[in-house]
Amino acid sequence: MRSKKNIMCSGQSFKDTVDEFKLENKEFIELHDLLKVMGLCDSGGMAKTAIAAGSVKVDGKVELRKRCKLRTGQIVEFQGRKIHII
């Protein structure tokens, strides 16, 4: 059985990769949706489990709220990958 702290949603490991996500006429995107849209997690359930395990950071701090609203300028970190919200 895997430790919750070592969850790899997509089975991939990313090392210091920085991507951008454009909101496109939206005010925000929820954290679990971002992980799905960016292909970091295969399902919403996997995204929510990774967040609950403390594996995701927003602006350098561990984020445990699955529906955390991400807005322009914020940075999400997960499995060595960074996503800048633009």
What pLDDT score does 18 carry?
A: 84
d(CA 3, CA 9): 13
The span from the CA of 72 to the CA of 23, in Å, is 7
Low-confidence ranges of the chain (pLDDT < 70): 1-17
**Alpha-carbon span 18 to 16, nearest angstrom:** 7
Nearest to 31 by CA among 20, 1, 4, 85: 85
Q: Tell me the CATH number of domain 28-86, given options 3.30.1330.40, 3.10.290.10, 3.40.50.720, 3.40.50.2300.
A: 3.10.290.10
pLDDT of residue 12: 52
Q: What is the pLDDT of residue 3?
A: 27
Strand locations in the chain (E): 17-21, 29-30, 56-58, 61-62, 69-70, 75-78, 81-85
- pTM of the full structure: 0.81
